[in-house]
Amino acid sequence: MKIIKTFISVVAFFSLNLNLFAQQSELSKAVNKISDFIGHINFNNNNDLQSVDSIYSFALKTNDFDFSATLLSLMFATIPYREVPIRLPLLGININYPLISADESTFNNKNKNLPRYLFFDSPQNDYGDKDKLAHFFGSAFLSYESNIFDLGKLIGYFVEAFEESFKVQSSIDSRDLEVNYYGRMFGETLKTNKQILPSQILLLRSIRYLRITL
């Protein structure tokens, strides 16, 4: 089970407590529109990073260029799950945490089209790195909204530290931590540069790897 499931639960819980879902109906509409866009647009002529930029640009227009709302709706729209199964460690109880998502048909079409080959080391299979976009945009949202300290980093490490206790995965996923880092970088950069695109930040991971190996 991927770490993204618990990550989204923590983000959703935090968001609820800050009343960020006061306009949940608007968020649901945005998630539906973005999911429909991903499910129907033909990405065949683009590489996956260009596809991410196309999705981001569409989400910006959908949210009337509200960057905070855009990042939040992208987080939910790019999650490849409709609910999060979590096993509480002490009680031994399994609970399913429902997530904001499109209707089943739109959701399934969206999942088929989610960009999956984002990095040089993305798994070369049908799933690839589909779960990494929700990590990226979720961390970007937390970083963009944080003015006092790096909340995205705090939440990211909190989730990683408690993953094993919640039985979501058996060990810390270093690639998820990396994507969280670049998501925070994107959110922080957006505060001063509204023209930055996700691909420009995502590419840094591959460039950094090449610099180290050369």
Tokens of 101: 């998502």
* CB atoms closer than 10 angstroms to residue 10: 17
Expressed in percent and rounded to 5, the helix, strand and coil fractions of the chain are 60, 5, 35
**Taking a C-beta distance cutoff of 8 angstroms, is the pair 138, 73 a contact?**
no
For the chain, what is the domain count? 1
CA distance 154 to 158: 6
On the question of pLDDT at 51 being above 90, the answer is: yes
The answer, yes or no, to whether residue 190 has pLDDT greater than 80, is yes
Higher pLDDT, 83 or 78: 78
Find the helix or strand (DSSP H, E) in which 97 lies. Answer: strand 94-98
Q: What is the mean pLDDT of residues 158-180?
A: 58
What's residue 25's pLDDT? 84
Which pLDDT does position 121 carry in this prediction? 85
pLDDT at 122 over 70: yes
pLDDT for the residue 147: 66
Mean pLDDT of the chain: 78
Predicted confidence at residue 146, as pLDDT, reads 76
More confident residue, 198 or 17: 198
**19-28, 35-44, 118-127: least confidently modelled range:** 19-28
Kindly report the backbone phi and psi dihedral angles of residue 83, in degrees, each rounded to the nearest multiple of 5, phi listed first. Answer: -150, 160
H helices of 47-173, in order, are 48-62, 67-77, 104-113, 132-145, 151-162
Q: Which range (55-64, 104-113, 117-126, 205-214) has the least confidence?
A: 205-214
Tell me the average pLDDT across 20-39: 82
Average pLDDT over residues 92-98: 76
Q: Are 193 and 144 in contact (CB under 8 A)?
A: no
Q: Give the pLDDT mean for 37-56.
A: 84
pLDDT score of 202 more than 80: yes
Cβ(202)–Cβ(118) below 8 Å: yes
Six-digit token pair at 43? 């990405």
- pLDDT per residue as tens digits for the range 132-166: 999 899 899 989 987 654 555 545 544 444 444 44
Q: Which two tokens stand for residue 16?
A: 């609820």
The kind and range of the H/E element at 85 are strand 83-87
When comparing pLDDT for 98 and 183, which is higher? Answer: 183
Question: Coil, strand, or helix at residue 98?
Answer: strand
| Cα distance between residue 12 and residue 78, in whole Å | 14
Q: Is 99 left (phi over 0), alpha (psi -120 to 50) or beta?
A: beta
Contacts of 174 (CB under 8 A, 6+ apart): none
**What is the domain range of residue 34?**
4-213
More confident residue, 156 or 185: 185
